[in-house]
Structures are given as C-alpha cells and as structure tokens.
Chains A and B, each alone.
Chain A
C-alpha cells in the first residue's frame, strides 16, 4: 500500500463529514425521521441547479445557499402537507422530495448543456478529487501543507453542528423526546425541529461533493443507529456516533485501497467503502452490543440471578 499525503487528507475530510453528519443524525434517528435526511439530500438538487442557472457559475457559495434553502423548504413543505391533509409524514416526505428531485434532474440536464454538472458526481460524490482543490497552503516546519477546500468547508460544518449540539443540548433533547413537554416549558419545539432540519440541509449540501447525496444518508443514519445500540445515554450516543463515523472514514479509505486489488480490481471509491464500513460496524454492534446485542440477549436469557438472595424488592 502506497500512502501519500493526499490519503491523509481524504481520511480527514471523510472523518469531518462523518462527524458533521453524525450529530444531527442522532436526533433524526431518535425522532424516527431517518428518511428526512434522504428526502432533504435528494430535494436539494433543484436548489443547486437553480443557483447555477441564475448565477451562471459553479461558485460553491451560491450553490450552497441555494441548496440549503431548498433543503429547509423540504422540511417546511413536508410539515404543511402533514398538517393539512390526511397524509402521514412518510408519505408527505415522499411526495415533496421526489417532486423536487425530479425537478432538479430536469434542471440539471438543462444546465448540463452549458457546463459540466455531472449527475453521477451529485449522486456518488468524489472524495478522491477533493484534495486537488486547494484552498490555501502554509508552512509546517519545513514542509509545505496544502489545505483542501473541502477540509475547510466540512470542518466548519462539523464545528457548527458541534456548537449547536452543545449549546442547545437540553432543548434538542426535550424537543425530540417530548415536544409537548418542551412547549409547556416554554421551548418552541417547532423551532427546534426547523433548527435540526436546517442543520441537516446544510450538512447534506456540504457533504454532497465529498460523499454524494446517497451515501450522505448512510453517514447520517447508520453511525447514530449503531451508537443507539451501544448506550443508554444521549450524550454518549452523540459521542459514540461521531467516533464510529470518523473511524469508518479511516477504515473505509484503507479498505478502498487494499481490498479491490486482492480480488483483481482497481482500487474503489472511498465514499462507497465508508458507507460499507458503517454498515459493517452496525452489524457488529447489532450482534455483540453489551446490552442490546443479539449475542448478549441469547447468553443472558438463561442466566438469571437468584431474586431471593438479596434484599426483597420494595416495589
């Protein structure tokens, strides 16, 4: 295996993406809204395309804003449809995001006549190329370090999500667990919902270029679901999901380099391997988690302690 400095950057970018996704991902999973990430990540397409058609450039910032706005709108439309008619949340999400996605595809095909905005790249991302887009460089001792733009963007988003999660921890927690109680405590649960949706939209858009719109869903949901199997406390769930996501980035990149040659292929895409790795980690947790794992359930089924040895239960 031939490890170069670009490989380190790819792992760093992947890890930052994973951390940025894992934090809002935990709340999505706990609210039973995992598919909202899916919906938003697809629905942002027309935002990207419109921003491009309007400004005529692929300048990231406008595209970023366009996509983030449409992402938040997805959440708003979904809420409206759910509130107005006899449509459950899953169905309204489906209606909103497929419509927006289709619109986005049409627009992209239009836009593609003028400039290259590759639908494939939108879906799968291109983490390997992100290291060529250097934002700035600095001297670190005697070596010159090139900092890729993607590292800056995803680092900022990860930091933003970290700050939101830390500063609004109580409010996010109570709004996810019991929105009615939140309301009686003077915390606007609806507002917290949209804060979370904004986070998801921004994160999805930022992660787009790196892992694409499909794999971002894996990064939002799988580490969070895995962490939920491993702990009974929300703050640990957040920490563990971030660690799992970040490790998956490292492991995934190594696997992407190492595994395919073993079976006679070229090295494969890192983002794909990252998603596969999170899936594998989930399976491991599902099998071997200390309390909720399959194995510990099997083993503890017959292992009953004597209830009559200690003090009698008082309740």
Chain B
C-alpha cells in the first residue's frame, strides 16, 4: 500500500459542549428510533463509539444494520432521537464522514468511468458551479491506487468485477479523506485476496486515528478484524470491546433461535478460544 498522506485536510477540532455526555465521540446516538410505514426497524438505540476504533456491526438479515447507517447519514427519516458526529449534528459534519454503500445500491451500467465515480466523493470539496480539475483527478487516482486498481481508472464501471466495484466504492470514500467511515458490507462477495486488501486498508485507517464502522456477516472473522462490536437486532443487544461483548450468550440473544447461525456462532467462539 502506498503512503497515505496525499490529501491532508486540516482536521477541525470540534467545539466541546457541556450538555453532551460524550462530546468527543466520533459518533454518539441517543434514543434513536426508525420506522418504515410505522413499523419500527430500530428501537431506542443508544451508542457511543470511541475514537480510533474499528467497529463491527453484527446482526442477522433485516436487523436494521443498513438502516442504522442511513439514519446516521440522514438518508432515512428518524422517528425520534439524536445523532451527533464529533459533538455536532451530521449536517455540519458532512465533510468528515465517508460512506461506502452496499454495492447493489447503484446502476453499474451508468456511463461513467471508475475514476469518475471516485471523483464524485470530492464533489462537496469542489463545490457548485465548479468543474472537476486536474488536482481532483489526481486525488481520485491516488485513492484508486491505494485500493490497487489504478490501472482500471478509465474503465466503464459495469466492466469491473464485483470485487473491483467494491474497491471503487472504497476508493471513493478514501478520496474524501474523512475521519469517520460507514461501510455497508464491504466484504460481500469478494474473494480472499480482496478481503485481505480491504482489511489491511481498514487497519491503515485505524492507525491514522480514524474510526470505521463496518457491517459484517462472517462471525468467524469478527475477533480477528474488529476491536469493538455492536450486536444489533432492532435494539442494541450489546456494544463494547470485542473480547467483552462477543460472547456466546450475546450472539444467542442477537440471532435468536436460528440454529444454523448458532452453529456458526459456536464455530466463531471456538476461534476466540484458539486465538
């Protein structure tokens, strides 16, 4: 991986406010409830994510993991609750938050190149009525390089493999040089090599003091990848450092009576004992 210091934004130190119960947390969520058509999907979420952690969001399908991320980013309306990013509402902190959506969320036949898609992560920096300049393309190219696909920069995006498309999305978030990242299933349908590359990248981000929340499905690798986990199933079942929270009992409560999943959890736990 090439060096990371290519796009330095002055990192704003957010002002402290006394009424927040943890004003410095990259992400703090109070009393968040989200519903679709009046049916609650997230109920009373309370979370404080400490700085510089690599956080796994774990839970069964339909648990509300994607919804949690979208609610933090104002992409779905909240029924109630408050989300703060470094002690301020998300609206004022857009530039420090990066988002890697699920891959199915866009039409890959759209007539744009990989480089174009990465450049879109910079549109906020570029601003209204301004055109994309050489320096923006350079930043985008560096981001593609960092995920190892700069040779595919000019390709139309439907001509990339699934793993390469995932890397394009990652590059787009990297180009933004945020300090808090949300990634929705970046490991979905990627091969072992891509998974390793992404993990290396995540650890890189962590070593730079950035906070990353990753929706993850493979219980077997949780302890290996994440130092903090959120177990989610409509409510927060448990959240905290992996070694404290990632227990058989909590997994039981998260996944309910789904037997195959429990078997998987058992496997995951045997990995903990070995590791």
What mask results when residues 119 to 148 of chain B are scored 1 for a CB within 8 Å of chain A, else 0?
011011010110110000000000000001
CA distance A312 to B94 in the complex (A): 41
**CB atoms of B107 and A177 under 8 A apart:** yes
**CB atoms of A178 and B106 under 8 A apart:** yes
CA distance A97 to B164 in the complex (A): 42
**CB atoms of A185 and B124 under 8 A apart:** yes
How many cross-chain pairs have Cβ atoms below 8 Å apart between A and B? 77
Task: Report if A32 contacts B (CB, 8 A).
Answer: yes
Counting contact residues on chain A (CB < 8 A from B), the size range is: 20 to 34
State the main secondary structure of chain A at its contact with B: helix
**CB atoms of A171 and B101 under 8 A apart:** no
CA distance A237 to B97 in the complex (A): 32
**Contact A180 B164, CB 8 Å, known A173-B112, A232-B156, A233-B111:** no
Closest to B160 in A: A315
B148 cross-chain contacts in A, Cβ below 8 A:
315
Task: Report if A181 contacts B (CB, 8 A).
Answer: yes
B128 cross-chain contacts in A, Cβ below 8 A:
171
Closest to A231 in B: B111
**CB atoms of A174 and B123 under 8 A apart:** yes
**CB atoms of A315 and B164 under 8 A apart:** yes
Task: Report if B226 contacts A (CB, 8 A).
Answer: no
**Contact A181 B112, CB 8 Å, known A32-B107, A167-B129, A170-B126:** no
B126 cross-chain contacts in A, Cβ below 8 A:
170
Task: Report if A310 contacts B (CB, 8 A).
Answer: no
What mask results when residues 69 to 102 of chain B are scored 1 for a CB within 8 Å of chain A, else 0?
0100111000000000000000000100101010
CA distance A239 to B158 in the complex (A): 22
> Contact check: which of A176, A180, A185 meets B94 at CB < 8 Å?
A185
B107 cross-chain contacts in A, Cβ below 8 A:
30, 32, 177
A182 cross-chain contacts in B, Cβ below 8 A:
123
**CB atoms of A180 and B75 under 8 A apart:** yes
A30 cross-chain contacts in B, Cβ below 8 A:
107, 110-111
Closest to A176 in B: B110
**Contact A184 B164, CB 8 Å, known A167-B129, A176-B110:** no
**CB atoms of B110 and A177 under 8 A apart:** yes
**Contact A174 B120, CB 8 Å, known A183-B73, A185-B94, A315-B148:** yes
Whole-angstrom distance from the CB of B99 to the nearest CB of chain A? 5
Task: Report if A35 contacts B (CB, 8 A).
Answer: no
**CB atoms of B73 and A184 under 8 A apart:** yes
Closest to A238 in B: B111
> Contact check: which of B74, B120, B152, B164 meets A181 at CB < 8 Å?
B120
A231 cross-chain contacts in B, Cβ below 8 A:
111
Closest to A84 in B: B37
Task: Report if A253 contacts B (CB, 8 A).
Answer: no
Closest to B159 in A: A232
Interface hits, A235-263 → B, CB 8 Å: 236-237
CA distance A187 to B129 in the complex (A): 12
Whole-angstrom distance from the CB of A265 to the nearest CB of chain B? 40
Closest to B158 in A: A232
CA distance A178 to B106 in the complex (A): 6
Task: Report if B113 contacts A (CB, 8 A).
Answer: yes
CA distance A231 to B156 in the complex (A): 10
Task: Report if A186 contacts B (CB, 8 A).
Answer: yes
**CB atoms of A184 and B112 under 8 A apart:** no
**Contact A187 B123, CB 8 Å, known A170-B132, A177-B110:** yes
Closest to A234 in B: B111
B106 cross-chain contacts in A, Cβ below 8 A:
177-178
**CB atoms of A177 and B113 under 8 A apart:** no
**CB atoms of A315 and B149 under 8 A apart:** yes
Whole-angstrom distance from the CB of B104 to the nearest CB of chain A? 12
**CB atoms of A184 and B156 under 8 A apart:** no
Task: Report if B151 contacts A (CB, 8 A).
Answer: yes
CA distance A149 to B106 in the complex (A): 43
Looking at B94, B105, B123, B164, the one whose CB has the most chain A CB atoms below 10 A away is B123
Whole-angstrom distance from the CB of A243 to the nearest CB of chain B? 16
Task: Report if A42 contacts B (CB, 8 A).
Answer: no
Whole-angstrom distance from the CB of A36 to the nearest CB of chain B? 16
B73 cross-chain contacts in A, Cβ below 8 A:
180, 183-184
B164 cross-chain contacts in A, Cβ below 8 A:
315
Whole-angstrom distance from the CB of A87 to the nearest CB of chain B? 13
**CB atoms of B74 and A178 under 8 A apart:** no
> Contact check: which of B110, B120, B132, B152 meets A185 at CB < 8 Å?
B120
CA distance A11 to B126 in the complex (A): 40
A178 cross-chain contacts in B, Cβ below 8 A:
101, 105-106, 120
CA distance A151 to B19 in the complex (A): 64
Closest to A178 in B: B106
Known: A30-B107, A178-B105, A315-B152. 5 other contacts (CB 8 A): A174-B120, A177-B106, A177-B120, A184-B75, A237-B111
**Residues of A in contact with B (beta carbons under 8 Å apart):** 30, 32, 167, 170-171, 173-174, 176-178, 180-187, 228, 231-234, 236-237, 314-315
Instruction: Kindly list the 5 A-B residue pairs having the minimum CB-CB distance in the complex, ordered from nearest.
Output: A232-B156, A185-B124, A185-B123, A177-B110, A234-B111
